[in-house]
Structures are given as structure tokens and as C-alpha cells.
Amino acid sequence: MAVGVGELARTIDHTLLKPDAKQADVRRLCAEAAQHHFASVCVPPCYVRFAAKELRGTDVMVATVVSFPFGYDTTAVKVAAVRDAISGGASELDVVMNISRFLSGESTYVAEELATLNQEVDAARGRDLDRVGLKVIIETAYLTDELKRLATWIVAESGADFVKTSTGFGPGGATVEDVALLREEAPEGLAVKASGGIRTLQDALAMLDAGASRLGASSGVAIMQEAGDGGGLRASGDRPPLDARQGGPDPHPPGARSQGGY
């Protein structure tokens, strides 16, 4: 895939979701993201406000997770978490769907929960000029291909912006095959985020080539160093954003906030 270094950077959610992450680690993550102009930092909910302050005046958004990594929380708990994250300065929310209920055949429950969460995001968009994005993690490693397609359809119907492969804490991470399947199933307007096990430039380019528009990775700096050290990429991206080309939302729409286990 022909991609520029700058364009590659804007696909990366620089991620730190390890249980032993410290505030100093989050500060470093934010500095690295600002230096490389990553799409966002993805941090634990307790560090959303801290990251928003660290990234004020930059072009990097703050993302966080909801009901991570198992998706077990009740809808009411997830709603409260969404509200708290948005009020703290998060521009993007990576929500884990209720995998247990989904595998139990309760797709209606999952669909209604995701629709409720998207209503909260829509309400936030209505109150603020800044756009809030919603990504739904379906944890593909637990799902058959048929269930992956069903989950993608449910995510699309909910109004979310992205369907995301993995938490990075499950039995497996993103695969090229899964990304291609999700991209094939996802309608126009629903982008695909790959996460889990993306550690090298080759990994990143393979996921983008398969149809991902965003990458969740804790190895973003190493990937960019590899790209800059003869990775064969152009010095800058002169094409439209990947999301726009592949049917999903621009990761940095007008008015967006300046703001692991992956």
C-alpha cells in the first residue's frame, strides 16, 4: 500500500492500557503522540482529564475505553462511563460490546445497548461543537465468521463510527483476514479499527491494506521509527484521509478537540 509517513501517523491511536501504567507513562505517551502527530492517545479512563491537559493545543485527540476489556458492565454503568469520559475531555470512546450476552444469542440486548450509548454520544455532539467518535470492540477472536458479520451489522445499525477487532487482552488480536471480513461487511460510513498485536511497520501496512482506517497500537513510536528509517514510505501523505477513502469518518473532522495491551 502506498502511504506517506504523515498519513500513517494519523491512523495510529497511541495506546497505553496496561494495568501497571503510571501517570509518568501517560505523560510520555502524550508527548510522543504530539511529536509524531498521531490520531489520538488511548488511555485509561482515570487519566482522561490528565491527558486532555497534556495535549491541549495539539492536534492529538484523547480516546479512552468503556467496559474494558470484557464488556460485562450493565448498560447504566456504560452510560455513566460515556458521560464521564466526554465531560473529562475524551473525543473518542472505545466501548467493548457485551460479548457474553452476544455469545448467549442475545443480539437484541447488544443492539439496544449500543444504540443507547450512541444516543449519549449524539447528545454530546448536540451540546458541543466538537465531534465525539464511538468505536465498538467486538473481540473477533471469540467469534465465528458468521458472528463477526452479525456483530458488524449491529454496530453499523447502532450509529457507531468504527467497528474494532480486539481489546488486545483476549485470546488473539487483529488479523488481516478479520479486518478484510469486517471491511467487506461494514457499510459506507462505518470504518474499521484494527488492534491487538500490531507491533511493526509490516503489521501496520498489512492491516491498512486489508481495509483498516485506524490502528490501535502501543508500538506506535517503533512503527514510525521503522517507517522513517527506510520503510519505503513517502515523506508526507498527499491523499485523502484513509477513513474517507474506505467509507468511514475522517478521524480528525473539523472542530475535533485538540487534545497497552494493544
What is the H or E stretch that residue 126 is in? helix 107-127
18 catalytic residue (yes or no): no
* pTM (2 d.p.): 0.89
Report if residue 179 sits inside a domain. Answer: yes
Q: What is the pLDDT of residue 152?
A: 98
Average pLDDT over residues 59-71: 98
Report if residue 223 sits inside a domain. Answer: yes
Q: Is the pLDDT of residue 20 over 80?
A: yes
94 catalytic residue (yes or no): yes
Set 164, 178, 203, 243: catalytic member: 164
Average pLDDT over residues 167-196: 97
The pLDDT mean for the chain works out to 89
161 catalytic residue (yes or no): no
Average pLDDT over residues 214-239: 79
Report if residue 250 sits inside a domain. Answer: no
Report if residue 253 sits inside a domain. Answer: no
Q: What is the pLDDT of residue 246?
A: 44
Report if residue 262 sits inside a domain. Answer: no
Report if residue 22 sits inside a domain. Answer: yes
Q: What is the pLDDT of residue 125?
A: 77
**pLDDT per residue over 66-123, tens digit each?**
999 999 999 999 999 999 999 999 999 999 999 999 999 999 999 999 999 999 999 9
Task: Quote the domain boundaries for residue 122.
Answer: 5-245
Q: What is the pLDDT of residue 3?
A: 81
Average pLDDT over residues 47-55: 98
Return left, alpha or beta for 24; rule: phi > 0 is left, psi -120 to 50 is alpha, else beta. Answer: alpha
Set 94, 161, 178, 243: catalytic member: 94
Domain of residue 190, CATH code: 3.20.20.70
Q: How many domains does the chain have?
A: 1
Set 78, 135, 148, 193: catalytic member: 193
Report if residue 21 sits inside a domain. Answer: yes
Report if residue 17 sits inside a domain. Answer: yes
Residue 251's pLDDT band (boundaries 50, 70, 90)? very low
* 3-class SS letters over 69-120: CCCCCCHHHHHHHHHHHHHHCCCEEEEECCHHHHHCCCHHHHHHHHHHHHHH
